[in-house]
Chain A
């Protein structure tokens, strides 16, 4: 038995490599790099909110220990991350060629950012620093977010080297087909702030939250308006890069008139209106319109875009259906008023009130607060309820079928793109990336994309084989027409030989169709005229002509 050698250095290297590949190597697919990156980002954002909530004395005083514990846990995680990064940095190609990779990394901007995120905490443990300064220094943790943004910025710069500032802005703000990480970060940032601000608006409606967090809410709202107004200005400024909106003024006005941009404007307008006109009118009701920020998410939802496009496509049918619905509602309301007004003047007081009853009945909601009591009123209700099911179902059915059709067309487009990309027989990583982006739009999962790729490859193989076969057949046909049989090629190419055999057989079958079978058979049955194998083949072909 060989003696077991325990090499500590080798173990250290393999552990270091394992940790680097598992958590810190961005070039390895399916490792935990993205998970760690996102978790750290989430922790930084939670830290920021923790700091904001801490400013509410009532909450901080009652949960002081929890805040302290959370801070310690955050620092522990950030410290572990920092130490691990220093430990594995010799594996990083950027630093591995340095004389001392760890020292080189220690003085790099990222490492310094990581250090200043944790340093105030340790300083506070040893040096007597004012608690408020220490708290403010925790904001430095936000700089850690640059770790995510910087590589994306670098890649963006490489991709768009030489582009104008406005073009770059356009590529960051608007959706582009290119694989643009910076655009993804921008979208994520806006989505995050939409969610934060909407959650704040919802929480603000709870009196206890509004009571304790009014200051925090006002700060968050100001930051949100700052971000959304910047986004709006960036969109308006860079939109002229779109060939559709090239004119410097008309292009921008047309962009501003787009639904998504109107929503963007309405989401920031209440803040400015309240600030300007708040002393003249009570505009607090406008605050609820901040919920419109939720509609901003539609810009980022392909499903919502598909639904809107389906509704636009089917608008003539929907319009007709809505028109019938409107007619029915008005007619029923009038009849309801005529038959029920005398019996229930308080409930069917006028036609508008009857419209409410008609809509509630037609939509099969049936609150029951207004119900007919006369026989004719009840009869109308029966008709209304029965017709309502069909009428209200039409728009839903039209929309759903249109949506299904759109998804089917989308899938076919992905498949066609795949066919054209596979025309050279290879699907390059860049082509696969484009297909993945396209598939994402049409909600096609990765597994389905794999299946489509396989299907496209198989179909391509089949098509190639069919084409080869046709070419061979043509060749054989030409030779047969000339009365030649290329034995040399048959000996070299088994496929050619097989095709030649099939062609010969086919000729034999055609021969049997035109010949007098009975006489031919009796002629062949004579031993002097054919060999046993020739007779056997002839019989087989006569018995099974196809």
Chain B
């Protein structure tokens, strides 16, 4: 028995609507997918930063003076360094992470203070937060200020601000 679709004019219109809907969903899905891929890149960048930070701490603990000097904590280094100096060295032209860019929007800075809709440029940025442990043992998070003097044992966490301005935690580390 030969199969016949028996298509009428309205059936063809319906099929067109169906195809358009699928194309539209695929288009939106592709956008969402690309955003998700960009976010994955941001997460991977964050992970590489934390890997470096852990390695840096390990070297300090093993009395191997790591570079850059600007990130060395008080006591190990002869002079005090601030978080801003450390970041500038790392992200600067000769820094380890000089090639990192904000993957979600390249015009946005790589590091932001807070992840908030009020600051649209924070989309895709790294958010560094200092961790203080309260006497009751509850961690308290506050933005890691540029003027923060680097000291041994400084705990901080790194997050990525996604396109909906939600903070995605990458991890925590100690200097």
Contact = CB atoms under 8 A, between A and B. Distances in A.
Nearest to A56: B40
Nearest to A161: B1
Given A165-B11, A229-B21, A207 B169 contact: yes
Interface string B48-66: 0000000000000000000
Contacts of A223: 29
Interface stretch (B31-39, B79-87, B88-96, B127-135): B31-39
Contacts of A225: 25, 29
A222 B29 CA distance: 5
B169 A165 contact: no
B97 interface: no
Contacts of A221: 29, 32
Contacts of B14: 166, 233, 237
Chain B interface residue number, banded: 20 to 34
A275 B18 CA distance: 19
A134 interface: no
B25 A211 contact: no
A178 B32 CA distance: 42
B25 A218 contact: no
A214 B39 contact: yes
B33 A230 contact: no
A368 to B, nearest CB: 25
B141 interface: no
B36 A230 contact: no
Interface string B152-168: 00000000000011101
Given A211-B168, A214-B36, A233-B17, A165 B43 contact: no
Given A222-B28, A222-B29, A282-B164, A230 B21 contact: yes
B36 A218 contact: yes
Contacts of A166: 8, 10-11, 14
A278 interface: yes
Given A222-B33, A282-B165, A275 B117 contact: no
A272 B29 CA distance: 10
A168 B5 CA distance: 9
A2 B5 CA distance: 64
B6 interface: yes
A157 B6 contact: no
B8 to A, nearest CB: 7
B29 A158 contact: no
B100 interface: no
Contact of B1 (A157, A226, A230): A157
A222 B117 contact: no
A163 interface: yes
Contacts of A218: 29, 32-33, 35-36
Contact of A226 (B26, B35, B164): B26
Contacts of A226: 21-22, 25-26, 29
Interface string A161-189: 11111101000000000000000000000
A471 interface: no
B21 A233 contact: yes
B127 to A, nearest CB: 15
Contacts of B169: 207
A274 B167 CA distance: 18
A215 interface: yes
What size tier do the contact residues of chain A reach?
20 to 34
A207 B170 CA distance: 11
A319 interface: no
Nearest to A238: B14
Contacts of A77: none
A164 B9 CA distance: 12
Contacts of B33: 215, 218-219, 222
B94 to A, nearest CB: 29
A463 interface: no
A225 B33 CA distance: 14
A284 B166 contact: yes
B7 interface: yes
A291 B168 CA distance: 23
Contact of B6 (A165, A214, A215, A272): A165
B37 A215 contact: yes
A196 to B, nearest CB: 15
A521 to B, nearest CB: 85
Nearest to A158: B1
Contact of A165 (B7, B25, B26): B7
Interface in A225-283: 225-226, 229-230, 233-234, 237, 271-272, 275, 278, 282
A275 B28 contact: yes
Interface in A130-158: 157-158
Interface string B93-123: 0000000000000000000000001000000
A168 to B, nearest CB: 8
A272 B165 CA distance: 19
A222 B22 CA distance: 10
Contacts of B11: 164-166
A237 B17 CA distance: 11
A136 B23 CA distance: 22
B18 A233 contact: yes
20 contacts: A164-B8, A165-B7, A165-B11, A166-B8, A207-B169, A214-B39, A218-B29, A218-B33, A218-B35, A221-B29, A222-B32, A222-B33, A225-B25, A225-B29, A226-B26, A230-B18, A233-B18, A271-B28, A282-B164, A284-B164
Interface of A: 157-158, 161-166, 168, 207, 211, 214-215, 218-219, 221-223, 225-226, 229-230, 233-234, 237, 271-272, 275, 278, 282, 284
Given A163-B6, A211-B43, A226-B25, 20 more contacts: A165-B7, A166-B10, A166-B11, A166-B14, A207-B169, A215-B33, A218-B33, A219-B29, A221-B29, A221-B32, A222-B28, A222-B32, A223-B29, A225-B25, A229-B25, A233-B14, A233-B18, A233-B21, A275-B28, A282-B164
